[in-house]
Amino acid sequence: MALNNLSALTSPLSESQLAQLQQATAGLDAVQTAWVSGYLAGVSQGPVTSAALAQSAGQSLTILIGSQTGNAKGVAQELAEQATAKGIPNKLVSMADYKVKAIKDESHVIVVASTNGEGEAPDDAIDLHAFLASKKAPKLEGLKFAVLGLGDSSYEFFCQTGKDFEQRLQALGGEIITERLDADVDYQEVTQAWFDKALTAVEATLEKAGTSTTAAVATGTIVTENKYNKQAPFSASLLTSQKITGTESAKDVRHIEIDLAGSDLHYTAGDALGVWFKNDQQMVDELINKLGLDAAKEVTLGDKTLSLKDALIEEFELTGTHPAFVEGYATLTENKQLLELAEDKNACRDFANNNQIVDVVTAEGNENVTAENFIALLRRSSPRLYSIASSQTEVEDEVHLTVGAVVFENEAGQQRGGSASTFLSHRLQEGEEVKVFIEDNHNFRLPADPATPIIMVGPGTGIAPFRAFMQEREASDASGKNWLLFGDQTFNEDFLYQVEWQSYLKSGLLTKLDLAFSRDQAQKIYVQDRLQENAKEVFEWLQNGAHFYVCGDANRMAKDVQSTLIDIISKQGKLSLEDAEEYLTELRQAKRYQRDVY
């Protein structure tokens, strides 16, 4: 079949993949075409990404992942393993790789989806999420499904994406087979029970093909090679913590180097490092003092017994306050003011957002507080993920991070800080140990073809993965052009890794570097402004196949960059806004528009 006769409906490729294939093979002569066909045949003998391997007979379970930071992916993987163990034919597929129209052919679906800060769907899930709410969405009568949402209940739109998926699938005729789980940051404690329920429900309704319950099961594209993980992290040692903002900077950004020697841990440029932190001992002392508790009092957590102080330092979240804590503490201490506050949900959430646990508790009225009932109000701590700023081909047994220490003053003028960022930047001494693990991010990857140009937008600490990208592209002699857009407050004090970018410019590895320093002139200038100034070139690069990456602040920067990008595509490509959005959607589907935002 000639390529130009192909359509997305008759091939396993999405429309954009098809377009790429057609573009790539256009103009090839007979010899070249023969060579390419041989090449592809060779490729197909290699490891197969099994997302495309659907069960050919009988019904199966499709587990759809909508993940941003990798948590949902981890949960879904566990779910898939357990389904396989129960003999349920299943496939695990990231929504980013999923052809949205295929949903109408599914019999059983479990959605595992996280939610971004203000209730938006994660990047992977955007297309499916939008498709299901659109007029194009098919009827899904006969679909049996369940949703596991992941979120952080200290945010207003807790597990919103999960809720959306459930509501949309149901509205299209799908049948809920297990009640939705809205899992909080300590999800590990609740997911297992839900897996049991959900998989039992699937088993009960699944029509299996013949008797072949042992059909080979594809468990998706995710390969876990590393023996250390979130639950079993590696104890690495801190090699270097170097402040890389100037003395006069308003910010304290650290370049962190961690030694992975002996761990055999592997990571790829684009991955994140999970870091288990310890809370600030002084702050914990202050908290215990305020509560009038005994620091040495032993408490039991699962099968561990440790002192209250150690438990508070190592096991609990003390910086991000949950609104439920305010309510629980208010009830426990019968504190009128806090009780009143707890009644106003919005005010309570704001208060929780702006105050760490130590600043929520009062110095008086703690007569009813005990070590046990206090820790029962707290959430277990969870590791923080940092985009890795190094390539292993360059740094071998090391992993580098770019960490902005979050430091602020509370109402009383005391210094408070982010738990993991100040742990890494201030409390952890060189040579001391820190528990880490690698968190894969398959949705933030350099192009497979080293000749593909890339545009990187990484203001502030969003620069981190691009340092890894450049190290990787340098080590592999990649010929593709590289364009970096960086921004921060000031040129003099906040130009992160300035000398490295300068040397990449000099060597020619970095093709173009555009900078936006918001405070160096009267009017604020941001990376999106630099994009707009370079609109013509941005569009040319995209037309020439460039991949476009964004890393950093999700709430403002990434949104502004995206709307600027749509504007550029629309104006330069002479497309309607809708078509420009579609253009971007296709870029995303083709993995040419990737974001690592937080």
Partner 1 sequence: MTQKLHDNERIKIQSNFLRGNLVEGINDTTTGSFHPDEVQLVKFHGLYQQDNRDRRAERKQQKLEPLYSFLLRARLPGGVVTPEQWLEIDRIAEELTDAGSIRITTRQTFQYHGIFKRNLKSVFQELKFKANIDSIFTAGDVNRNTICTSNPEQSELHTEVYELSKKLSEHFLPKSNAYAEIWLDGEKVLDTEEEEPIYHNVFLPRKFKIAVALPPYNDVDIHGNDLNFIAIIEDNKITGYNVVVGAGLGMTHGDKTTFPRLGDDFGFIPVDKVMEVAEAVVTTQRDLGGRVSRSHARTKYTLETHGIETFKQEVEKRAGITFASPGAYEFTERGDRIGWVKGIDNKWHLTVFIENGRILDFDGKPLKSGLVKIAKVHQGTFRMTANQNLVIASIPESEKDNIEKLARECGLIDDGTSAQRLDSMACVSLPTCPLAMAEAERYLPGLTDDVEGLLAKHNIPKEHIILRITGCPNGCGRAMLAEIGLVGKAPGRYNLHLGGNRIGTRIPKMYAENIDEETIVNTLDELIGRWAIERNQDEDFGDFVIRAGIISEVVVAARDFYA
| Contact positions vs partner 1 (CB under 8 A) | 242-247, 255, 491-493, 495-502, 505, 513-515, 520-521
> How far, in Å, CA of 431 to CA of 421, rounded?
17
The secondary structure of 10-26, three-state, reads: CCCCCHHHHHHHHHHHC
CB closer to partner 1 out of 5 and 521: 521
Q: Measure Cα distances from 36 to 43, 45, 234 in Å.
A: 10, 14, 44
Closest contact distance (angstroms) between CB of 79 and partner 1 is 43
CB closer to partner 1 out of 311 and 496: 496
- The two three-digit tokens of residue 396, written as one number: 């071998």
Closest contact distance (angstroms) between CB of 390 and partner 1 is 13
> How far, in Å, CA of 48 to CA of 548, rounded?
26
Closest contact distance (angstroms) between CB of 555 and partner 1 is 27
DSSP code for 149: E
In the block, residue with structure tokens 């906040």: 494
Closest contact distance (angstroms) between CB of 514 and partner 1 is 8
CB closer to partner 1 out of 125 and 455: 455
Closest contact distance (angstroms) between CB of 517 and partner 1 is 9
CB closer to partner 1 out of 249 and 370: 249
- The two three-digit tokens of residue 364, written as one number: 């008086």
CB closer to partner 1 out of 155 and 504: 504
Closest contact distance (angstroms) between CB of 246 and partner 1 is 6
DSSP 385-426: EEEB---HHHHTTEEEEEEE--EEE-TTS-EEE-HHHHIIII
Closest contact distance (angstroms) between CB of 486 and partner 1 is 10
Rg (CA), the chain: 25
Q: Measure Cα distances from 134 to 62, 123, 145, 152, 589 in Å.
A: 22, 18, 19, 27, 17
> How far, in Å, CA of 147 to CA of 66, rounded?
11
In the block, residue with structure tokens 């096991």: 315
CB closer to partner 1 out of 520 and 581: 520
CB closer to partner 1 out of 357 and 484: 484
